[in-house]
Amino acid sequence: MKTFTITIIAALLAGTVAFGQTIAVSGTVADEKGQPIPYAFVRDAQHNYATYADSTGFFKLRADPSSSLQVMANDYKSATVKVDITGSANIISLKPVNPPGTPVDGIVPLKSNEQVKVAGSTFLQERQLLAVWSPVYAGGIGGGGGGGTNVTIVKQGYTVEPTRGSRYSYENWVSGFGINKKDSLIVETANLYNYDKMNGNIMYTNDGKSMAAISTQQVKTFSLYDKSGRAHVYENAPMVSNKPFTEVLLSTPKYKIYKKIETKLQRADFHTDGVIENGHRYDEYIDDERYYFVGANDNKAQSISLKKSALKKLLAGDADSFIASQGSRDVDEDYVRDLGKSLGK
């Protein structure tokens, strides 16, 4: 096993740190030769504040200044380091704190009884096979093509174009971690994840060839990190959708805002009578995205639009300061996520 180093900068948001207050922490995870370790997992040792480093080993998160950071990376030993709250940068040589294979305190690995096996082909195979439509796969691979329209076979001799869109949220597998219903972190650094928009499952693989779905029976929330390093949080939300996981854009003790996505596969339906051509020569995944506000008092979903006026009304003044600080910035999903972060400070 290998060891690594971590550079930490802790920025105080005020002159003093009150009990329970968090501070902004950023840093870089690297190996003994100073080479960055991409996508290392970093967490507050005493709380469920956690994140993944980006492709350059850089990370940032909010943490309790009295706590420590635990760092995990595939093929490296986990390590623990105190945060220097003076704001100065430190390059610290970390030694292994656990024998190989020993779990880190508060972290629960994915176990077989917490997984739901999925029959059929793999994520990678499905992307390849659906790139060129064929009636052999008209029903979907492993039942995954459900929700599409009736199949119209493309006349032989005409070129079939590549599939447009995807049933998955992320073009490639991404990093992620969960929090179980006992409020412990669920982490397996060898796994990569994706979100299946058609059935609402969070899929994972550790070899790029086979995959399984995460069970909602064990998981309260699950975070996936896109290629820009932004976290997308998913949870079971039966008031919004009957699917296992729905993305939550904003979450506070008083209310939440969810993104519900319905994805259908529109099969190629090109046909011609020799004179007039109609339809498409390609299969296409079509997304229907809608947003819902759920208040803690009644737990009922209310369909909303992502507009400043709607946010001001729904959040009863809580969002006014953030909205004013954003000026003319357009309201989109990232705007709502950033609003949620500001409300959580």
Query: Which amino acid is present at 41?
Result: F
pLDDT for the residue numbered 303: 97
The most confident of 49-63, 74-88, 149-163, by mean pLDDT: 49-63
- Give the mean model confidence (pLDDT) for residues 180-185: 87
pLDDT for the residue numbered 198: 94
Q: Which residues pair with 92 in a beta bridge?
A: 6
- Do the beta carbons of residue 201 and residue 244 sit within 8 Å? yes
Name the token pair of 104. 């880190």
- Give the mean model confidence (pLDDT) for residues 190-215: 90
pLDDT for the residue numbered 240: 97
Q: What is the mean pLDDT of the chain?
A: 77
State CA 47 to chain mean position distance. 19
Question: Is residue 21's pLDDT more than 50?
Answer: yes
- Do the beta carbons of residue 167 and residue 263 sit within 8 Å? yes
Cα separation, 258 vs 250, in Å, equals 7
Question: Is residue 288's pLDDT more than 60?
Answer: yes
Question: Is residue 301's pLDDT more than 70?
Answer: yes
pLDDT for the residue numbered 86: 56
Which of the pair, 149 or 169, is modelled with greater confidence?
Answer: 169
- Kindly indicate the confidence band of residue 17, based on its pLDDT and cuts at 50, 70 and 90: very low
CA angle 28/2/30 to nearest 5° reads 15
Question: Is residue 291's pLDDT more than 90?
Answer: yes
- Of 64-73, 167-176, 220-229, 281-290, the one with minimum mean pLDDT is 64-73
> pLDDT digit string (tens) for 108-154?
655 544 444 433 333 333 333 222 222 222 232 233 333 333 333 44
If we measure between CA atoms, which residue out of 246, 270, 278, 274 comes closest to residue 260? 246
Name the token pair of 121. 């082909």
- Give the mean model confidence (pLDDT) for residues 42-47: 87
- Kindly indicate the confidence band of residue 96, based on its pLDDT and cuts at 50, 70 and 90: very low
Cα separation, 173 vs 226, in Å, equals 9
If we measure between CA atoms, which residue out of 55, 7, 54 comes closest to residue 29? 7
Which of the pair, 248 or 78, is modelled with greater confidence?
Answer: 248
- Kindly indicate the confidence band of residue 3, based on its pLDDT and cuts at 50, 70 and 90: low
Question: Is residue 88's pLDDT more than 60?
Answer: no
% of the chain surpassing 90 pLDDT: 38
- pTM over the 0.75 mark: no
- Phi and psi at residue 204, to the nearest 5°: -140, 155
